[in-house]
Structure 1
């Protein structure tokens, strides 16, 4: 058996999960020339096997319950997705408000509201690493804790 072709390698990667164009190019880089790789990726796009917009929508849908908009944007940018596609994916897939998502993430991790400055800072850092905006974090940590939630 010979070495798999560039096209076969691309198909194998895409069969496992969606990939952005940049991810797929990076994974195929050591197996062919740049122009050849771009041609294979373009063909995968023509066939509907690779789509950056679909990738962005799936990524946002799978991660939006755990992460804030800032982190989602950063992660998608690192994966080579265009800003317009990121905006579209966030608009269509983030049905819950940013505040509701932050509240859900916070309540999932911390059962009690912060009572002292040290605990407040700990919870704020947690939300910040999850990609929620500082003003949203302040607003959320200042609101009274609802036991029914």
Structure 2
């Protein structure tokens, strides 16, 4: 006996509203307003409908950029990333510089201790003997988003402050 699929019975699934689609995305994980808007536009929702849905979600406190930023900072700090990397990622999510500063300050992270912990996790307890090894370890921390001054203090390597200006 042949089973009829949904496509066979001629009925189309009704497309969820932009609000329902965004709510479903938020049920899986927190998103920034910019990220939700981008996903709705990619899903074919018009700008006005998406904007209204995002406004409604914000009013209902289902979507909150501050909460999203705090969650992202906690997650990335636990993964061993530094403040410059976090600042860039939060900026990419559409948060203002002032809001980013507040969130990073509120996190209360000792960035020097976090950098030292990353070095220990990656390279063990033994210190770097030669300058090339110090430089390699310093580059590792710079790539993870730690400021040059912090990297210099932790690795005792010569680090150019120009690395901070690139971020």
Report the Cα offset of residue 117 of structure 1: 2.1
Report the Cα offset of residue 28 of structure 1: 0.3
The alignment covers a number of residue pairs equal to 142
Report the Cα offset of residue 81 of structure 1: 1.3
Report the Cα offset of residue 101 of structure 1: 0.9
CA RMSD of aligned residues (A): 1.4
Q: d(CA) in 2 for partners of 1:47 and 1:96?
A: 31
Larger radius of gyration: 2
Given that residues 71 and 132 in structure 1 are in contact (C-alpha distance below 8 angstroms), is that contact kept between their aligned partners in structure 2? yes
Report the Cα offset of residue 4 of structure 1: 1.7
Counterpart for residue 114 of structure 1: 128
Given that residues 52 and 85 in structure 1 are in contact (C-alpha distance below 8 angstroms), is that contact kept between their aligned partners in structure 2? no
**What TM-score, normalized by structure 2, do the two folds share?**
0.80
Given that residues 57 and 89 in structure 1 are in contact (C-alpha distance below 8 angstroms), is that contact kept between their aligned partners in structure 2? yes
For structure 1, the 5+ residue unaligned runs are 144-149
Q: d(CA) in 2 for partners of 1:96 and 1:10?
A: 32
Structure 2 residue aligned with 1:9, among 9, 21, 33? Answer: 21
Q: Which has the higher contact order (CA 8 A, sep 6+)?
A: 1
For structure 2, the 5+ residue unaligned runs are 1-12, 158-167
Large movers: runs of 4+ above 2 Å: none
Counterpart for residue 68 of structure 1: 82
Counterpart for residue 46 of structure 2: 33
